[in-house]
Amino acid sequence: MGMEDAYAIQREWVALKVAAGRRILGRKIGLTSRAMQQQLGITIPDSGILFGDMFFDTGAHVPAGRFIEPRVEAEIAFVTASDL
């Protein structure tokens, strides 16, 4: 499988989630570091969808049991007035 296959699977997975009532609230880009790309054998960053239930308000309880390996990672985010 290649990146085209992975994104085709992602599109179908997202369609199922949206059909089940989840809302898309954003997108993300991952694996932007060359070191991480080399470690995983890829040459470009990947991208994904952020659903509404992936966000937590300041001070909210984050249920650790919801995650496979919970950890904290700093992220830079931008809120835009319209889609890019």
* Whole-model pTM over 0.95: no
Q: Which two tokens stand for residue 60?
A: 């909210």
Domain ranges of the chain: 3-59
**What does the CA dihedral 28, 17, 37, 2 come to, rounded to 10 degrees?**
-140
9-56 confidence digits (pLDDT tens): 999 999 999 999 999 999 999 899 999 999 999 898 999 999 999 888
Q: Give the pLDDT band of residue 82 (cuts 50, 70, 90).
A: confident
Question: Closest Cα to residue 45, out of 35, 53, 56, 59?
Answer: 35
pLDDT of res. 77: 79
